[in-house]
Structure 1
Amino acid sequence: MTAPFNFNRGKLPLLISIPHAGTALTPEVESALSDAARPLPDTDWHIPKLYDFANALGASVIVGNYSRMVIDLNRPADDKPLYTTATTGLYPDTLFDGTPLFTPGKEPNAEQRKAALDNIWQPYHQQLQSELERLKAEHGYALLFDAHSIASHIPRLFEGKLPDLNFGTNGGKSCDELIEEHLVACAASQKQFSWVANGRFKGGYITRAYGQPSQGVHAVQLELAQCNYMDEQPPFAWREKHAPQLQPLLEQLIRAMLSSAQQIA
């Protein structure tokens, strides 16, 4: 069985979580996927590569290895909806555009889904929690940056074109206000990429569950429009001319989060 995640421990009080870049499938999911789902279109393609500067900075990084089509690491274990608008659950049964994920009658059964929860979801969150506790014990506080991406046009989820950078802080509840202010100021200081804070994406389960600023743990989600660094159609190729333009801004955002947290501590 493929390991549920890859983890690299850093020296900064920062953990970067990448839950949706995985492409591994369990046998029961792989054999049941619909034709539309086989290219794994809802994957956060290339996000580890996009944030490869993080290791040099000294951040800890955790990357999920399994596709969200097996189990979604950014949904609660009880599968309670996070949004009142269209979304997908802990065990998705449709793609983002509403297309069925599985061939009718071949969906994974309850036992198989429970195995995914126990062997994939739980280990990821145990490692995430353990690292945040270590960072807080060592530095006095911990920062969590949840890194995501999505196609820039998905009518079922949002109207029109998604802003390039979509910050989510659960309406300001998952991090100190100074951290959000610094991130927004950093985004506003440039004109190449559009941005919004707590728009369509306010942060998923990871941001909401672990972001506890009163306890010294500050979490932010960043949802990127994929058109800025990759092709949004199969085979979802990395855009060598576009991605290097986005990476410096991402590094600036990470540094802004770190510097603002130092002021709070």
Structure 2
Amino acid sequence: MTERAVPPFHIIEPQGIHRPVIVASPHSGRNYMPEFLRLSRLGALALRRSEDCYVEQLFEGAPGHGATLLHATFPRAYCDVNREAWELDPTMFREALPAWCNTTSRKVRAGFGTIARIVSRDGPIYARPLPFAEAEKRVSTCWQPYHDALAGLVHDCVARHGFCLLLDAHSMPVVKGRGDQPDFVLGNAWGTACTQQMTALVEHVLTAHGYSVARNVPFAGGYVTRHYGRPRRGVQALQLEMSRALYMDQDSLQPHEGFTRLQVVLMEVVAMLAQYGDTLAQMAAE
């Protein structure tokens, strides 16, 4: 499969009535191009450990509730669209980076910039430094098209409805030895990216099914949540992190029997957001 054979993202339009809800999955792409694999010292299975496996499939029913579904096809390890465009680690490149690159962020220091340096448990991705042209290519062919698409969907949603509810969907690994970890983490950038009401509605659906839910710790929301979430301008953005143990085996990366149950619960979340959107529309019309 060549790099050009697969578009960088897919958009699945709503079925029937368009609701002011967008579900985005930026990290579930699994088109591991041969060129990328040749550059990497890791195999495809190791690289996939950074992937939010099957998240777009968990939400594949969202268009049936009137929501728009957007998902990337390229891997997170190749280009991370939940970072700034130029959040880069200078130790990864042959040349000195341009001054306008963000080389000192917390994510860059941890190895998880726009071009990731590591896959957490398998170490560095690359055996040797990359040319800066590689970063330029990935930003222009992956990061920019994805954000052009997401920004366009948000703009069109606001134009159609007067507001937009964006759910940025992710999965998180269970780390052995870390003690109790929540089933879900809802990140609203400490209340700045969406209203407490939207957060509480999603939390209510999840806790009603017996799941444990945390807010903002350890994931308060990445670039997507913080960049697009502007409640005063009508755009609410909420990051949803779900435990991979709920639906897949973390060693084999295969879905297990919990997949279908979780899929049903997530469709309740989408339906609740659609209902919330209807309520907001009615309030605006009064």
Same fold (TM over 0.5): yes
Q: Tell me by how many angstroms 1:154 deviates.
A: 6.5
Q: 1:134 to 1:185 in 2, by over 3 A?
A: same
| Identity within the alignment, % | 26
Q: Tell me by how many angstroms 1:170 deviates.
A: 0.6
2:222 to 182, 193, 204: 204
**Equivalent residue, structure 1, for 2:200:** 181
After the TM superposition, which residues 99-178 of structure 1 pair with which residues of structure 2 at under 5 Å, given as runs?
A: 99-102=123-126, 104-105=127-128, 107-153=129-175, 159-178=178-197
Q: 1:82 to 1:143 in 2, by over 3 A?
A: farther
Q: 1:64 to 1:125 in 2, by over 3 A?
A: same
CA–CA separation in structure 2 for the residues paired with 1:212 and 1:197: 19
After superposition, the C-alpha distances for 1:128-165 in whole angstroms (9 at most, x for unaligned) are 0001100110011111111111211177xxx3353111
CA–CA separation in structure 1 for the residues paired with 2:180 and 2:133: 39
**Equivalent residue, structure 2, for 1:18:** 25
Task: Indicate the SS of the match to 1:199.
Answer: coil
Task: Indicate the SS of the match to 2:120.
Answer: coil
Q: 1:216 to 1:23 in 2, by over 3 A?
A: same
Return 5+ residue gaps in structure 2 as ranges: 88-101, 282-286
- 2:69 is the counterpart of 1:54: no
What amino acid is aligned across from residue 20 of structure 1 in structure 2?
H
Alpha-carbon RMSD: 2.1
In 2, are the aligned partners of 1:141 and 1:216 still within 8 Å (CA)? yes
2:209 to 163, 183, 190: 190
- 2:91 is the counterpart of 1:74: no
CA–CA separation in structure 2 for the residues paired with 1:54 and 1:8: 9
The normalised TM-score by structure 1 is 0.89
In 2, are the aligned partners of 1:151 and 1:225 still within 8 Å (CA)? yes
Return 5+ residue gaps in structure 1 as ranges: none
Greater displacement, 74-83 / 44-53:
74-83
**Equivalent residue, structure 1, for 2:115:** 91
Q: Tell me by how many angstroms 1:6 deviates.
A: 0.8
Q: Tell me by how many angstroms 1:253 deviates.
A: 1.8
CA–CA separation in structure 1 for the residues paired with 2:133 and 2:249: 36
Q: 1:260 to 1:56 in 2, by over 3 A?
A: closer
**Equivalent residue, structure 1, for 2:53:** 45
Q: Tell me by how many angstroms 1:63 deviates.
A: 0.8
CA–CA separation in structure 2 for the residues paired with 1:181 and 1:203: 16
Task: Indicate the SS of the match to 1:41.
Answer: helix
Greater displacement, 254-263 / 168-177:
254-263
Bigger Cα Rg: 2
Q: 1:214 to 1:48 in 2, by over 3 A?
A: same
In 2, are the aligned partners of 1:14 and 1:144 still within 8 Å (CA)? yes
- 2:285 is the counterpart of 1:259: no
Question: Between Structure 1 and Structure 2, how many residues are aligned?
Answer: 257
Q: 1:112 to 1:154 in 2, by over 3 A?
A: farther
